[in-house]
Structure 1
Amino acid sequence: MKKYITLIILVLSFCSNANASIITMSLSEQTVTPSDTIEVQLWASEFEEFDAFMFDLTISSTLFEYQESSFGSDLFISNPFSFFEVNQYTEYLSFSFVDLTPVSNSYFLLASFNIIAKSVGIDNLTLENTAFYQPYPATQALNISTEGNASVHVTNVAKVSEPATWLMFILGSWFLRKNIINHNQF
């Protein structure tokens, strides 16, 4: 009998851990110069039903400035009466969300926003203090895994675009033709 109880507990523990929700971070640029804009996207996948969450994104306010007007999320589309708040502190952005009805999307854009590089340096963007909660009365925390912690390098070196290949081909042809004509004149 003890073996059966142990087996049932083992199977239930595997089932609960197998449904880990994932938050993936992606950046539009990883090397920028001061005053450049970086788009940060946080994608959520394999989520169970939830109605509240909070998490922090570590980011240095001396290196980057959060652009509040650029904030967007798929959660507003699912329910316009939800409450989503983002606050910038010295070393992190704090996100909190409460919805009056449970959110049941399995794959969605959790947050999208822009940051502007202010000064030269390197910063690692990571998600911390992540907590998602199932609807009342369960109010049980979901198992969350984060991926895509990113490093951003702000440098003084400006980006130099490469010359167009077709332009180099035309110039090369012109010089080659000029040399052939000049060589045939002697």
Structure 2
Amino acid sequence: MLCFAYGSNMSTQRLAARIPARFMTTAMLPAYRLAFHQRGGDSSGKCDIVPASSQSAVYGVVWEVAPHHKPTLDGYEGLGVAYDETWLTVTDLAGEGQFEVQAYVGKITSTGMHPYTWYKHHVLNGAREHGLPSAYVRALERIAAHHDPDTERHAREMALHGFNELLVRGA
């Protein structure tokens, strides 16, 4: 099955820590916008896709996920509790056409949410790693983020990208 990742699961390291998946392509979801308004279990903002004007688009990564790994991914995403799933049509950035993909859409949204810095790092790392448009990456860089008070979680999440906590803290 093809899954469209537009948030932290764009990062190969982040997704590989959860399930094995095969990179297929980068893609654009037209007439949607990205929002960090999904309330995570840690009370921080997580990514969601929201219908928007025809001039808007969300960029992301299409992964092939084996059917027997999908329930594990559903568990990480809180399917049925935090997110629902939907099927969408995305356009391949490499010009290969369109794909029907599964995506998660937020159920528990709130205004004024902000991601933790480590979560934003997963999103940015995935966007840069997969060569998403530079203007889109710059927009992601401008998203306000807060430092996670759970320093162990922060260190664990940053370690997925090879960052040492001392380097992250600037010590």
Q: Which interval holds the TM-score relative to the shorter structure?
A: under 0.3
Q: Which has the larger radius of gyration?
A: 1
TM-score normalised according to structure 1 size: 0.22
TM-score by length of 2: 0.23
